[in-house]
Structure 1
Amino acid sequence: MQSKSLLCHFFLGLLLLSSPLCRAHNLHSKKTLEKITETNTISLGYQDDAFPFSYVENKQPAGYSIEICNKVVEAIKTKLKLKDLKVRWIKSSTASQFVLIKNHATDIMCIPAFYSEARHQKAEFSIPYFFSSTRFITRKNNHTDTIEDLAGHSILVKSGTIYVEQLHNINRTNDLNLNIELDNNNRAAFEEVQSGELPALVSSSAILKGMLALSPEPDSLEISDETLSPPIPAGLLLPLDDNEFKSFLDETLLSLITSKDFTALYQRWFLSPIPPKAINLNIPMSADLKALTTTTAKYVY
């Protein structure tokens, strides 16, 4: 009887090991490049509301961050000697991006992940491919020039972004009594400001410019001259504790950023008309990003 019981336990163990849950756990315990090789698939996160970085065009992810991720995919195919690497696109948001990376649902988040020390505790960041200050957008008839002019009012900010932390610090330091309202979608938040429901929305200068360019009434709104932060680096979001993948991504991005192709890539998204609406954001390359294009030294946060 005892040998029969041990035999049953043995077969039960084999059954558990072959279950989907166990296989998923085994994949998650592997390093990223090893997992990609084994599954012949890479999972990439995207947003649909972060023009011109990550949005949807013709039912496909598009944007500056998406194009950079596509180039990373080509580099991974070459490194791993894969003829046909399948790409699984997973819709994300700033609120869910860290959960998706932590749970290995995505291998890379192809959205502008702006750096902070607190965020770096949750996920790894690649070297930057963009720098942007924080500003706010408001209706012109509000006559709002500075953050102090918004004291005592409600301000919109997208949940899960670095701007939530920034606003709380500004609010506390300057005793502004701001009521910080959270929204899950940039477009919905922008519409609340455009309609006059709320006075201001805080975000990256570049994303605010993108939202303004897409607006049917751009002349009724303005982006603040006042910056709420110095230029902040934005990188691709990666899993923690995978130094091999981090090093490979950084080397790939540095090779791209220091190449002649990068200038053309940047001009295509920020200094040229973006199809199909021919929107030209006219955002010159920042001094910080220019410095990266001429160096071979590794960027350190």
Structure 2
Amino acid sequence: MAWPAIGAPEALTGTLAKIEDAGVIVIGYREAEPPFSFQKSDGTVVGFSIDLCMRIVERVREQLGRDDIVVEYVVATPATRFILVKNGMIDLECAATTNNAERRELVDYSYPHFMTATHFVSRRADNIESVADLAGRSVASASGTVNIDQLNALNRAQNLNIAVMPTKSNEDAFDLVVTGRASAFVMDGILLAAMVAETPDPSIYVLSTDTLSRPEPYGLLLKHGDTAFKTLVNETLESIYTSGDIDAIYAKWFTSPIPPRGTNLNLPLSSDLAAAFRTPVEYLE
């Protein structure tokens, strides 16, 4: 495809200079965060966010005139992702990371590539239908996420006496619900839906209609203040979005069978996200 022109600086700086010197672009990914970023049984890293980042890698190669730039993958967990980006240990975090003002003090975000609200998942047999029903129960959420902060804030504000159970990963938190050690797991609705869909019997679990937040956007993470690299990233995404290429990429991951079990999330593009793709802008709320 025809990429937007980006004026080459007299001398490369920041992330682009780092990539040029090393001949490597380092991508941060999740081991198990379908459909955004995950590792298949053969070790291949795939997902919706990864596909977008691979298009950015193509643009970097073109910008630098270096077809030999290779991709290195580094695991970036909810607890480590911001440190890895801030310290330059990864050049681009390609997963499902919510954009908010506090986090923008540490890192920069690309244009949004998804939107979701915070929900909780529980076992259907427990009949937990609302946030109020969580009162006095044990509820899991992954450390380093906005979701656990929202859960703690709600717990204090409404005096729910919830026993909050921090975990290292989303998988650990969901396992607490599966094994009955927690009554619920609080996380982004889309990620919960994907995890439930991958279980042997999804009917055992129910995703809440109650939310702990309004819909918020995900963005790709990059180093704070790196204007040249951020411009490249955003102009690449804008080209993908406004050309219509995003339709096929979205359909591949949200309305088609995906690895490892051929699960189809059957999640059509929402009107809000479609509008964000038509006119991409930075999310600064």
- TM norm structure 2: 0.92
Q: Distance in 2 between matches of 1:243 and 1:300?
A: 16
Q: Distance in 2 between matches of 1:239 and 1:276?
A: 32
Query: 1:115–1:162: 8 Å Cα contact kept in structure 2?
Result: no
- Per the alignment, residue 275 of structure 2 pairs with 291
- Per the alignment, residue 211 of structure 1 pairs with 195
- Per the alignment, residue 6 of structure 2 pairs with none
- Per the alignment, residue 39 of structure 2 pairs with 56
1:38 equivalent to 2:21? Answer yes
Deviation at 1:61, TM superposition (A): 1.0
1:84-131, CA deviations, whole angstroms, 9 ceiling, x for partnerless residues?
Answer: 111111112010001111111000111111012111111111110000
- Per the alignment, residue 112 of structure 1 pairs with 96
Q: Distance in 2 between matches of 1:271 and 1:83?
A: 33
The code of the aligned residue for 2:168 comes to N
The code of the aligned residue for 1:131 comes to M
SS in 1 for 2:97: strand
SS in 2 for 1:258: helix
The 1:283–1:86 alpha-carbon spacing in structure 2 relative to 1, beyond 3 Å, is same
Deviation at 1:288, TM superposition (A): 2.2
Seq. identity, %: 36
1:128 equivalent to 2:112? Answer yes
- Per the alignment, residue 281 of structure 1 pairs with 265
Q: Distance in 2 between matches of 1:132 and 1:185?
A: 19
- Per the alignment, residue 133 of structure 2 pairs with 149
- Per the alignment, residue 7 of structure 2 pairs with none
Task: Select the residue among 139, 143, 147 that pairs with 2:123.
Answer: 139
Q: CA RMSD in A?
A: 1.4
Larger CA deviation: 206-215 vs 175-184: 175-184
1:47 equivalent to 2:30? Answer yes
- Per the alignment, residue 240 of structure 2 pairs with 256
- Which structure has the higher relative contact order (CA within 8 Å, separation 6+)? 2
Q: Distance in 2 between matches of 1:121 and 1:44?
A: 21
Q: Distance in 2 between matches of 1:300 and 1:111?
A: 17
- Per the alignment, residue 272 of structure 1 pairs with 256
1:212-271, CA deviations, whole angstroms, 9 ceiling, x for partnerless residues?
Answer: 011112111110011221111000011011111112211111111112211011011001
Q: Which runs of 4+ in 1 moved over 3 A?
A: none
The code of the aligned residue for 1:39 comes to A
- Per the alignment, residue 193 of structure 1 pairs with 177
Deviation at 1:203, TM superposition (A): 0.7
- Per the alignment, residue 8 of structure 2 pairs with none
Q: Distance in 1 between matches of 2:115 and 2:64?
A: 31
Q: Distance in 2 between matches of 1:140 and 1:298?
A: 39
- TM norm structure 1: 0.87
Query: 1:258–1:292: 8 Å Cα contact kept in structure 2?
Result: no
Deviation at 1:276, TM superposition (A): 4.5
- Per the alignment, residue 227 of structure 1 pairs with 211
Deviation at 1:287, TM superposition (A): 2.3
Query: 1:101–1:107: 8 Å Cα contact kept in structure 2?
Result: yes
Structure 1 runs not aligned, ≥5 long: 1-29
1:161-209, CA deviations, whole angstroms, 9 ceiling, x for partnerless residues?
Answer: 1101111221122121222111112222212101211100011111001
Query: 1:129–1:257: 8 Å Cα contact kept in structure 2?
Result: no
Larger Rg: 1
Structure 2 runs not aligned, ≥5 long: 1-12
SS in 1 for 2:83: helix
The structure in which a higher percent of residues are helix is 1
SS in 2 for 1:269: helix
Query: 1:49–1:185: 8 Å Cα contact kept in structure 2?
Result: no
- Per the alignment, residue 236 of structure 1 pairs with 220
